[in-house]
Every structure is written in C-alpha cells, then in structure tokens.
Amino acid sequence: MSEITINDIAKEAGVGKSTVSRVINGSGYVSSETRKKIEKVMEENNYFPSAVARSLSKQESDTIGLIIPEANNPFFGEILSGVSQSIDENDLTLILCNTANEIEKDFRSLQVMLRQRSKGLIFTPAGNYNKKQFKKLNNLIEKINCPIVLLDRSIEGFTTDGVYSDNFTSSYLATEALIKAGHSRIGIIQGDLSLSIGRERLAGYKKALEAYGLEINDHYIVPGNFDADTTYNLMIDLLNSEAELPTAFFISNNLSCIGFLRAVFEKNLKIPEDIAFVVFDKVAGQELFNMKYSYVERDVRKMGKKAMELLLKRFEHPDKPYEKVIIDSKLKLLGSELYI
C-alpha cells in the first residue's frame, strides 16, 4: 500500500490541498468545523506530516509543549508560571494544551505537539492507560521524537525524566497532624484512584491510622475523584446520614476541598469546632480572605521550573541517565486541624 499524501487527505476531507496545509502548519484561517474534519481524516489515516517535514528539512522547532489535565486548578496555574519563566529566559515558545482529565484528549494534544514539531514536552497524563491506550501513547511519542518530562503524575511502564511530589509521606504527615491534634475518627476525601497520586495519598492516610492504632473505617472514606462538585454531593449525602461522622478529614486535593467547604457551610457547620481538616495543596484565595486552613504546601512554581531544567539538560546531554526529582513538601498548620 502506497504512503498517503496531503492530496489524499484533502480529497477524503473534501477540501483543497492549501486548506490541509494551513491546518498542518497552523497558519492562516480555517473554520473550526473544517479543521476538525481534516484532523479526523489525518488521525484515521495515521498521517503525521511534520515528522516527515522535520526529517527532510533538518529544521528544529523552538516550541515547548505543556500538556496539563486541569486548567481550572490553581496548582497548574503555578506550574505554568514556573515553566513560562524558563521559556522566556531561554527564548523558546510555549504551546499549552488542557485535557480535562480525558485520555483521548491526551492523544489529541500529543498529535498537536507532533504537528508543531515540538522541541520538548512537559506532560501530566490524564489517567492510567490500558494496554491498547499505552500502545497508542508509545506510538505517538516515538513519532514526536523529542525529550519528555513527566510532571506530578507518572505513567506505569514508561521511563523518562520526571518531577514529582512525595504524596505518600505528605499524606501520612497530614493525617498524623489530625491525630496529634486529638482526633480519632478521621475520614478522607480520596482522589481518583485510577491515578498513582490518588492511590499514594490514600495509602499515606491509611498508614498513619495504622501507625497510631486507629481503625480504618470504610464509612469514613469518601470516594471522591479530585473534583469539587463530586465532593460536594458526596459530603452532603454523608452529612445528611444518621451514621456517626468523623470529627476530621484529610482532603486529597484543593478542588475537593472547595466542594467539602460548600457542603460544610451549607450545613452551617463551623471549622474546626464542628469538623476539622487538612488539605493537600492550598485552597485558592485562602490567604486573601484570611482563611486559616491547614494544608500540605508544595513549591509548585519550582516544580515547573525544575521540569524545564530537566528538558534543557536533556537537550544538551541526550544520552544521560533519566532523572526522577522529588520536590519537598511541608505542612502548614494554621488551625483547621484542631480538636475543639
């Protein structure tokens, strides 16, 4: 079977060759509907022209790709700040894609990076990949053929440079702070367990309870997914139930904490008098409004800068051993953990 050409793509999509070229090169106006139609045809035919163009022209892009799963999460806003600072200092160009925690959008974003001939990529995956998805991921990454740094979330079976947090230890210490404050009935708003960070934070919580001889009560484990609305609905159900409630919670991320607080305030409960908590990552605006909420503090901007540092080192030394960097966290205990 002969290799598909740009003319074949244009014919199948029902457009002119010049329109396909504009989509490939990211130049000139193409309507959203036509662009999606062309991209769909390209994907169905496994057509990745920029890889061919790179091999023919020997030109290298100055573009760095950043793929994040939650544009609405202040955590990734800080990541962007750290990455952007390094981008500017090194006279590079940034392309940002948001996947909304959808694996199919991971693939779409990677295809964008391929067409743009990205020089390097910083990537926070949307979730765990099944066998078929992992194969597709590897195929795309091989075609992109540029250095990649994973950020915050790892991919099982995929080895590359990465910047992470110690989710287990930080969650253990946060739960321990609640225990030391005097709580014995401690719940958790867990995160998405399809992600390693969700599993690690749950494991840290459980380990702390075990270390202090406290029971792990399944009723106290709220099955969240790092989302505010989900947490709100689950907490309302729990607060409306007649079961004995925890006196404190470890909350697995800042977005979940927003849902938790909505439910707590709707029920006219006071923090920490009626219910206490420690959250993983700072709640947006808490300093501005003088909200004394205890949290696990990470130097998030440093994580973004470190990811760029690893990329730059990989450009200079492509054959050096892969690096796994763990950015330290610390507890900021401001009062919401207290037992009153």
- pLDDT tens digit sequence for 172-186: 999 999 999 999 999
Ranges in the chain annotated CATH 1.10.260.40: 1-47
User: Rounded to whole angstroms, how far apart are CA atoms 21 and 6?
Assistant: 8
Domain 1-47, CATH homologous superfamily name and number: lambda repressor-like DNA-binding domains (1.10.260.40)
Q: How confident is the model at residue 54 (pLDDT cuts 50, 70, 90)?
A: very low
Starting at the edge strand that comes first in sequence, how are the strands of the sheet with 248-251 ordered?
Answer: 221-222, 186-189, 248-251, 276-280, 294-298, 329-332
Q: Of the given ranges (74-78, 285-289, 334-338), which has the lowest mean pLDDT?
A: 285-289
Q: Report the candidate in 184, 107, 180 with the shortest Cα–Cα distance to residue 141.
A: 107
Question: 263 near 232, Cβ under 8 Å?
Answer: yes
- pTM of the entire structure? 0.81
Largest CA distance in the chain: 75
Residue-wise pLDDT for 254-300, tens only, equals 999 999 999 999 999 999 999 999 999 999 887 667 789 999 999 99
Query: Is pLDDT above 50 for 312?
Result: yes
Burial (CB < 10 A; 0-12, 13-18, 19+), residue 316, is exposed
Name the DSSP letter for residue 271.
T
Higher-pLDDT residue of 2, 146: 146
Residue 303, phi then psi, degrees to nearest 5? -60, -45
Q: Phi/psi of residue 61, each to 5°? A: -75, 155
Question: Superfamily assignment of 167-298 in CATH?
Answer: Response regulator (3.40.50.2300)
The distance from CA 220 to its chain's CA centroid, rounded to whole angstroms, is 26
- What pLDDT, on the 0 to 100 scale, is given for residue 216? 95
What is the DSSP-derived secondary structure letter of residue 116?
Answer: T
Among 47-56, 174-183, 184-193, 211-220, which stretch is predicted with the lowest mean pLDDT? 47-56
The answer to whether residue 50 scores a pLDDT higher than 60 is: no
Span(s) in the chain for CATH 3.40.50.2300: 167-298
- pLDDT > 50? residue 318: yes
Q: Coil, strand or helix: which one is 187?
A: strand
> Residue 52: what pLDDT?
44
pLDDT at 45: 84
